[in-house]
A and B are shown apart, each in its own frame.
Chain A
Amino acid sequence: MRSPLEIDRVHVAYGDTPVVKGVSLKLEPGEIGCLLGPSGCGKTTLLRAIAGFEPLRRGSVVVDGRVISSTTTTLAPERRGVGMVFQDFALFPHLSVAANIGFGLSRLGREQRQARIDELLRLVDLPEVRDYYPHQLSGGQQQRIALARALAPRPALLLLDEPFSSMDVELRETLARQVRQILKRERTSALLVTHDQSEAFAMADRIAVMEHGMIRQWDSAYHLYHNPADRFVAGFIGQGVWLPVKRDAQGVLQSEFGPLTTRVGPSEAVTEMELLLRPDDVVKGGPGLEAEVVEKAFRGAEILYRLRLPSGVEVLYITKGHNDMQPGERLTVRLEMDVEVLFPLESMTPSGRM
């Protein structure tokens, strides 16, 4: 099967300001991808370029084997076969729910159109609102109708621009999972834009972390978390702290907790490095260090502690909610990690990992 989306070294600029700088990305059929990054990183611009609302300066966008954007051509949005769900949903206020969903189905006959509308209303589980108008729907319902409208013409690719940002925080993850199920059921390939990693984790198969118009890493959520490609990704995804590490004469890396498994080749001139410590890399029990509880954040099923090591370095430690300690209490902790992510001091990219 052809890839639903292949973008190759894409550059987009507003006037003289480059916004997207050489981004490449490929989606597998049925895959849900995500552009994740802080505001201003160029993710929405990239999405709008794929939809055909922004021209490319360089590079190309290929959807389903068809070149729809390149330096020389920008196929009009209406001729791309790319659907889009907007941040504010952009439902047409003068049309009923059914007419909104049917808007992109003008090529179908009346009966086929009605059948497809009903099919989509069932898919998003809202058959009862068929004759309502957008202002009569709740925010969550509007969003599902916007999704149904975008899916109706069976686009080769669906784009979602911050689709949950106007929802209540508590609802976002649930909605993201619902939308994921709907997309998977329709076998639609999709690309989502968000700045919220829990949304990205709940919805996407693969995530591109973007910064300053470039993709830092294009990977699964698990790998982004445990195997970040650079300091930006490490800092942007999840929580963590940096533990100082020194190389001794034998080339063994020594941390406060003792020697690490990772070896550094003799060619490495660097002697001082930092180890990324996630809260779940720190576990209770010896042999280890005695640490003092500095601060705690109760999160129901779990508690996140900030611990101070004898050297004064503070690390994060997460534990089940029954394990209640007060600031000032002491406990013994050690490290337990699958992958050691190490960065030379002041360097963006990791030097060694196991």
Chain B
Amino acid sequence: MEIASHAKEKSRTGHRPSLWRAGVLLSALLLALPILVVFGYLFVPAGDVWQHLVDTVLADYLDNSLRLVVGVALGVLLLGIPTAWVTTVYEFPGRRLFEWALLLPLAIPAYIIAYTYTGLLEFAGPVQTLLRELTGWSARDYLLPDVRSLGGAVVMLSLVLYPYVYMMARASFLGQSLSTLEAGRVLGAGPWRVFFHITLPLARPAVVTGLSLALMETLADYGTVQYFGIATFTTGIFRTWFGLDDSAAAAQLAALLMSLVFLLILLEHYSRRRLRFFQTGGRYRHLQRLPLVGIRKWSVFTLCLLPLLFGFLIPSGQLLIWALSIAEETLDLRFLALVGNSLLLAALASLLTLALAIFLGYGRRLYPSRAMTFAVRLSAMGYAIPGTVIAVGVMIPFAWIDNRLDAWLRETLDLSSGLLLSGTLFILLFAYAVRFLAVALQSVESGLARVTPNMDDAARSLGEPPLGVLRKVHLPIMRGALFSALLLVFVDVLKELPATLILRPFNFNTLAVRAYELASDERLADSSVAALTIVAVGVVPVILLSRAVSRSGGRDAESA
């Protein structure tokens, strides 16, 4: 039977499988190239600069990166799990609003929240000014912890990354069978014991998935740690690349960073493999929300309000105030050009990525095989890899090709091609495709999964030719998925900072780059318009996401 159905898939579409298959394998190889290049540098003999790094800063990089990871892990768990739990099992004022609003901090890139709080808390900022006015103290009378520190970075990153844990934990809590929990109660466990001994262990694989997403982002962060002056792998790669001008040593740092990421992936993979054993089967009844009263009602309300307040409302409010104060001077043609650049880049990148995702997704559906699955997985790996690492991995081979091409042209035609690949938008688009293919692919594949092979056959037997099937069945069913793929990549590209900083063509600016540069120059208010634009655009996929989250809850309720 297995063989028969397998063979059936193969013959379904018949004619030119080899061309498509070769295309998929080739694109996968191309998309994996940056990662392979960086990995390759693990085996390149180390140079002087590397030795210098090892002697001086490598221990700091490792130390700071690990502290950051541990700190953010604690932060996102503490913020994400309790909020997920109370919005699942309790009824309290604003519960329905919090359900999706708690995702909002995800819209703010970490580097933006970092310098917003720096501006809020600096000596001349509103908080300290207010404090002095209220107490009559002078600057020497009090001591606030410096936000520009490792601890500060942990807080900033936790505030915008906890939604990953919140989202995954909540989905898991919602999916748990009430009977399991009731069985625990009947066996004599109190609500707290049930939570720690049944609910939380059942949700653990999901929580680990959310956690590892948050930690990947932490390792990938460049803007925050650079702004706060913390030496980590990402800042180290920049410094080695631009400061010490040693691409090999930068690539070796990148390879180390990538190894850390792979450790995370392994952890996630391991816990996910156990996920299916944890899933409760088939029919279950939905959790009934318990109404809270009195002091408990308001403490739970506060518990949910705080992450939303500090992770979204305060920073975006501050950005808005800044933006309004300088709107007149900033909203000029140069700003419009900046917006134009960003939109153009995001549009091109998302179309390219979507096209690739469709090509790979259909390839795997039409000609399923182990090799195809492996190729598609390989090409989707970029999402876990920090933008800095991808930038290094893209730049090295492209620059090599450019140099060769240039040398060859000079020799044969006495022409210079310049930096045909590495100096143009091409390299940036390619890097975005590597980094964000997984996002588009996930949407495309979930859309494709809704079109079963039998639907193709049914449409054919009802008189539609293949193109008609594509137009009347595939496109309408997949439209939503394709649109959200486009949108998600678009927004991700708009927010992306480190790869854009390294790979952009000379004098080509985007919103993210401009916001970051102005903030680095301590011109916080000036950067606010660009930052606010990024946040506003970033809210769109969060709303999509929140709709998906509440829908999944709704579907559970229906099937209950």
Q: Which residues of A contact B (CB under 8 A)?
A: 14-15, 17, 19, 39-40, 44-45, 48, 51-55, 76-80, 82-84, 86-90, 92-94, 103-104, 106-107, 149-150, 152-153, 159
Contact = CB atoms under 8 A, between A and B. Distances in A.
B46 to A, nearest CB: 51
A106 B7 contact: no
7 contacts: A17-B7, A76-B460, A78-B461, A78-B463, A80-B461, A94-B477, A159-B461
B7 A153 contact: no
B450 A77 contact: no
Interface stretch (B323-331, B359-367, B378-386, B451-459): B451-459
Contacts of B476: 94
A61 to B, nearest CB: 14
B462 A93 contact: no
B8 A48 contact: yes
B8 A106 contact: no
B550 interface: no
Nearest to A79: B463
B201 interface: no
Contact of B11 (A14, A93, A107): A14
Contact of B462 (A45, A76, A104): A104
Contacts of A107: 463
A86 B477 CA distance: 19
Contacts of A152: 462
Contacts of B460: 52-53, 76-78
A106 B468 CA distance: 12
Given A14-B8, A39-B1, A40-B1, A93 B450 contact: yes
Nearest to A55: B11
A88 B8 contact: no
Contacts of A14: 3-4, 7-8, 10-11
A82 B463 CA distance: 9
Contacts of B463: 78-79, 104, 106-107, 153
- Per DSSP, are chain B's interface residues mostly helix, strand or loop, or mixed? helix
B261 to A, nearest CB: 37
B380 to A, nearest CB: 26
Nearest to B456: A90
B462 A78 contact: yes
A76 B457 contact: no
Contacts of A78: 460-465, 468
A84 B7 CA distance: 21
A55 B13 CA distance: 11
A51 B452 contact: no
B197 interface: no
Question: Can you list the 3 inter-chain pairs with the closest CB atoms, starting with the nearest?
Answer: A14-B7, A104-B462, A90-B454
A40 B461 contact: no
A279 to B, nearest CB: 31
Interface string B6-29: 011011100000000000000000
Interface in B438-495: 450, 452, 454-455, 457-465, 468, 472-473, 476-477
A55 B452 CA distance: 21
A40 B463 CA distance: 29
A38 to B, nearest CB: 10
Interface string B134-158: 0000000000000000000000000
Contact of A93 (B10, B12, B472, B477): B477
A83 B461 contact: yes
Contacts of B464: 78, 103
Contacts of A87: 454
Contacts of A103: 459, 462, 464, 472
B457 A84 contact: yes
Contacts of A51: 457, 461
Residue among A44, A76, A93, A159 with the most chain B CB within 10 A?
Answer: A93
A87 to B, nearest CB: 7
Contacts of A153: 462-463
A301 to B, nearest CB: 31
Given A78-B464, A93-B477, A86 B11 contact: no
Interface string B538-558: 000000000000000000000
B8 A86 contact: no
B368 to A, nearest CB: 14
Given A76-B465, A78-B465, A84-B461, A90 B7 contact: no
B420 to A, nearest CB: 45
Nearest to A101: B462
Contacts of A55: 11
B11 A92 contact: no
A86 B458 contact: yes
B17 to A, nearest CB: 13
Given A14-B11, A88-B454, A93-B450, A150 B461 contact: yes
Contacts of B472: 103
B458 A84 contact: yes
Contact of A17 (B3, B454, B468, B473): B3
Given A78-B464, A88-B452, A93-B450, 11 more contacts: A14-B4, A45-B4, A78-B465, A82-B461, A88-B454, A89-B454, A103-B459, A106-B463, A149-B458, A152-B462, A153-B463
Given A14-B8, A78-B465, A86 B457 contact: yes
A300 B325 CA distance: 86
Contact of A90 (B11, B455, B465, B468): B455
A107 B477 CA distance: 23
Contact of A19 (B4, B461, B462): B4
A164 to B, nearest CB: 16
Residue among B11, B12, B476 with the most chain A CB within 10 A?
Answer: B11
Contacts of A80: 461
A295 to B, nearest CB: 32
A112 to B, nearest CB: 15
